[in-house]
Amino acid sequence: MNDEFKDLFVDGSNYKTKLTRKFGLRKIKPEVDDPKIIKAFIPGLIKAVYVKEGDSVRRGDKLLVLEAMKMENQILSATKGTVKKINVEAGKVVVKGEILLEIE
């Protein structure tokens, strides 16, 4: 009976209590997007890559085109920097969250 109770810390005090399934599912710290790591926000197909490794890019420069749900999504750079690594080429199918390109 006693091992189902866990510790919960509230305002400096520790309480013995049960935890819920939803409490277990919560994200401790929600992810914050890093503008230097370009991820696929939707699964789809890479239609074109406009840059190559070593290119310097400015904010707003076209990086690649990701086709999903019959829409061609232009992926633009949100930051200034140099293209460090490109993980995809035109014709590649990507899943959601896949890292497409890194800038430094």
Partner 1 sequence: MSLREKVFEFFKKKETVLSGGGAKAVEKQISMGKLTARDRITKLLDPGSFHEYDMFVEHKCKDFGMENKQLPGDGVVTGTGTISGHPVCIYAQDFTVAGGSLGYMHARKITKIMDHAMKLGVPIIGINDSGGARIQEGVNSLAGYGEIFYRNTLASGVIPQISVILGPCAGGAVYSPALTDFVFVVDKISKMFITGPEVIKTVLGEEISMEELGGAKIQCEISGNAHFFAESEEECFQQIKKLVTFIPWNNRKKADTFPPKPPKFQYDIEKIIPESPREPYDIRDVIRAVSDDSDFFEIYERWASNLVIGFSRVRGETVGIVANQPFVLAGVLDVDSSDKAARFIRFCDAFNIPLITFVDLPGYLPGVDQEYAGVIRHGAKVLYAYSEAVVPKITIILRKAYGGGYIAMCSRHLGADFVFAWPTAEIAVMGPEGAANIIFKKEIESSSNPEETRKAKVKEYTDKFANPYIAAANGYIDAIISPRETRDYLIHALSVASRKVEERPQKKHGIPPF
Least CB distance to partner 1 at residue 52 (A):
28
Note whether 11 binds partner 1 by CB under 8 A: yes
Task: Give the span between the Cα atoms of 47 and 93, in whole angstroms.
Answer: 9
Note whether 82 binds partner 1 by CB under 8 A: no
Of 3, 24, 52, 69, the one binding partner 1 (CB under 8 A) is 69
Of 5, 37, 72, 87, the one binding partner 1 (CB under 8 A) is 5
Least CB distance to partner 1 at residue 61 (A):
27
Going by C-alpha positions, the residue among 39, 56, 49 that lies closest to residue 95 is 39
Virtual torsion, Cα 73, 61, 55, 49, nearest 10 deg: 20
- Strand pairing partners for 93? 45
* Interactions with partner 1, residue window 16-55 (CB under 8 A): 16-23, 25-30, 42-43
Task: Give the span between the Cα atoms of 78 and 7, in whole angstroms.
Answer: 42
Question: What does the binding site for partner 1 look like in residue numbers (CB under 8 A)?
Answer: 5, 8-23, 25-30, 42-43, 69, 95-96
